[in-house]
Amino acid sequence: MRHLITLDDVSPTEVETILSITHDLKTKFLAGVREPLLPGRMMALVFEKQSLRTRVSFEACMTHLGGGSLMLGDEAGFGKRESLADFASVLSEMVDVIVVRSKAHQTVVDVAAHSSCSVVNGLTDLAHPCQALADLYTIREQFGDLKGRKLAWVGDGNNVARSLAYACVRLGVEFSIATPKGYELDPAVFERLRVQDPDAKLTATHDPREAVAGASAVYTDVWASMGQEAEQAQRVKDFAGHQVDAGLMAAADKDAIFMHCLPAKRGEEVTAEVMDGPQSVVVTQAGNRMHAQKGMLVWLLGAHGDR
């Protein structure tokens, strides 16, 4: 039994396998084929945070694969009616996979420790591995391959940025991040990735133009994520020099794409001109959450055979 808590749980070869399954299933989906590779399988969604893309993409992909899903809201009493250990051990007797979207990363770790079925991280304060898988798939889809590509992150050194750094190193993509002072990605992340791959191309800077130079993909996120609303005013001041606008996109490769994990705030981290412009792939990127999670679930639950 395998879990997907962070991208540390998968090797580069396994990431390639997931993306290969993703491509196969998306190609079939676009041709009108929804291959039922997980008939009778049941997925439980346990969310402590609001969600559109994560919830709908998981529910839709499991239905397409022939399985079922159920969303557990407040009535399930997660973290309230009984211990987390009891909740996880009982729930995992009834379902094949549990997706947890939690305020604290340790909660997902604890659910996995007490589950007899696979557990997937649907977002925590530390990591967002499903988003990163969909993002790398999107870049490959746009350019045909990932060889020689560079992804530039502009903004907060948050959970999405951290997972993207891991995903990029696993697939040989250069990763560069530009943050305001005080919002850097934990240096331990780069140190750990360089131990895993001494040839990894990783750069941290406070200059967005330096980060996007030569980039194939320019990526940003909201300046204040869920749970950081009280910091909104201060963050608007701190991140003022890190907006992705047409000028910054022009500093990247001429065919660079713009990416965002959504939801976005036009006029803050990105201008409407870029968000809605011809270089933006944000809608395709969001749709690929469903396709990448199909690939991940088929791999995780061992239904991929010789693919």
Catalytic residue among 3, 41, 53, 101: 101
Q: How far is CA 229 from the centre of its chain?
A: 21
Residue 266 backbone dihedrals phi, psi, to 5 degrees = -60, 135
Sign of the CA dihedral running 122, 68, 283, 228: negative
Active site (annotated) includes residue 101? yes
Single out the catalytic residue among 260, 289, 291, 304: 289
Q: Which residue of the set 131, 243, 279, 293 is catalytic? A: 131
* Residue 131 is labelled as binding a ligand: yes
- Judge whether 289 counts as a catalytic residue: yes
226 is in an annotated binding site: yes
Calpha distance 277→174 (Å, rounded): 25
Considering only CA atoms, which of 190, 124, 132 is closest in space to residue 161? 132
Catalytic option among 41, 53, 105, 128:
128
Residue 71 marked in a binding site: no
Q: Which of 261, 279, 293, 304 is catalytic?
A: 261
> Are residues 62 and 68 in contact, defined by beta-carbon separation less than 8 angstroms?
yes
Is 289 one of the annotated binding-site residues?
A: yes
Q: Is 117 a catalytic residue?
A: no
For residue 69, say whether it is annotated as part of any ligand binding site.
no
Per the annotation, does 261 bind a ligand? Answer: yes
Check the annotation: does 61 bind a ligand. Answer: no
CA-wise closest residue to 218 among 274, 159, 162: 274
Reply yes or no on whether 131 is catalytic.
yes
| Strands ordered across the beta sheet of 97-101 | 68-72, 42-47, 97-101, 118-123
Nearest to 101 by CA among 81, 119, 82, 75: 119
Active-site residue, from 221, 235, 279, 291 = 221
Binding residues: 101, 128-131, 159, 221, 225-226, 261-262, 289
Binding residues for L-ornithine: 159, 221, 225-226
Catalytic residues: 101, 128, 131, 221, 261, 289
Binding residues for carbamoyl phosphate: 101, 128-131, 261-262, 289
